[in-house]
Copies of this chain bind each other. A is one copy, B any other.
Amino acid sequence: MQDFLYLRENNIKEIIELMLEAYTNSYSDPYEVLKKNSFGKAHHRLICAVDINPGIKVADLIKKLKITKQSLSRVLQELIKKEIISQSKGDIDGRHRLLYLTEKGKKISEEIFNTQKKRILEAFKESDSNEVLNFKKVLKKIIAE
């Protein structure tokens, strides 16, 4: 097998560490916005996931965030009470609870997003459309089981 430099263990290892740091940095940007609303990292993750996946089922959210039903519940009930997230009964399967951001939730999510947006746009500055698409493609593949 040919020795592709970019597939060497040290390069892959570095990429794993870069992902840790990229996530850590991106998700620490909205610190002030979250604090203002008395939200923590768990709320942030939840709001972000529901924003990009409107109508997501509780079970899928658990898989996505890789936390237990009980852990999710505490944060979710809090956000429902504060009218950031709303629930509706699934019409195909009545056992499902579909989650959406409320208007209030959308506003907060936008506020959060605005603090993160700059970082990503800056990173894409010297990239062209294809490169961004490839970046996204790779991220998606990393997620795939």
Contacts and interface: CB of A to CB of B under 8 A. Distances in A.
Per DSSP, chain A at the interface is helix
Contact of A124 (B119, B138, B140, B143): B138
The bracket for how many chain A residues form the interface is: 35 or more
A123 to B, nearest CB: 4
A129 B6 contact: yes
A1 interface: no
A136 B18 contact: yes
A119 B134 contact: no
A129 to B, nearest CB: 5
Nearest to A18: B139
Contacts of A143: 18, 21-22, 25
A32 to B, nearest CB: 14
B138 A52 contact: no
Contacts of A65: 24
Given A142-B120, A142-B123, A52 B19 contact: no
Contact of A135 (B7, B15, B52, B116): B15
A26 interface: yes
Given A11-B136, A15-B139, 14 more contacts: A4-B129, A7-B121, A12-B113, A13-B51, A16-B48, A16-B116, A17-B48, A18-B136, A20-B48, A22-B142, A123-B138, A123-B142, A131-B131, A132-B138
